[in-house]
Amino acid sequence: QAKAALVMDDASPRQRLAAFVTANLNAPIIDARVFSLWATFLGRAGADPALARAHRDGYLGFRNEVEAVVAEVLAAEQHKPDAGELRHHAIAINAIIDGLWIEGCLAGEMFSPGELAA
């Protein structure tokens, strides 16, 4: 499971971030049926305030996890990012996972095994 990657005891922060990204871009998270449900949900979230709130909570929850591990990666490398910089990285990493996940679910046969997480 992807969350397990975030709490691996014997791994550096960078390894945990990489494992988290990889886990999110492979089965069972890459899944055509889950994707279809997700797309339907998203399509309605624009018009339904409760779904919009659910999307927003899910998005921010996921992004906050990414942000926490990015903070550890940078701290381990002696960077002291400010809050804006961490937010910026988390938004970008979240977005690239989402974008790669879409293609993996919908058209995974276009990519070599492991290519999306490379």
**Chain residues in the site for a second copy (CB under 8 A):** 32-33, 35-40, 42-47, 52, 55-56, 59-60, 88, 91-92, 94-100, 102-103, 105-107, 110-111, 115-116, 118
Q: Give pairs for 60-63: CB < 8 Å, separation 24+.
A: 62/94, 63/90, 63/91, 63/94
What is the rounded distance in angstroms from the CA atom of residue 94 to the CA atom of residue 64? 10
Pick the closer one to a second copy by CB: 72 or 103: 103
CB distance 94 to 62 below 8 Å = yes
Q: How far is the CB of 10 from a second copy (least distance, A)?
A: 29
Pick the closer one to a second copy by CB: 11 or 38: 38
Pick the closer one to a second copy by CB: 75 or 107: 107
Q: How far is the CB of 81 from a second copy (least distance, A)?
A: 15
What is the rounded distance in angstroms from the CA atom of residue 13 to the CA atom of residue 46? 36
Q: How far is the CB of 87 from a second copy (least distance, A)?
A: 9
CB distance 14 to 73 below 8 Å = yes
Q: How far is the CB of 57 from a second copy (least distance, A)?
A: 11
Pick the closer one to a second copy by CB: 76 or 92: 92
What is the rounded distance in angstroms from the CA atom of residue 17 to the CA atom of residue 93? 10
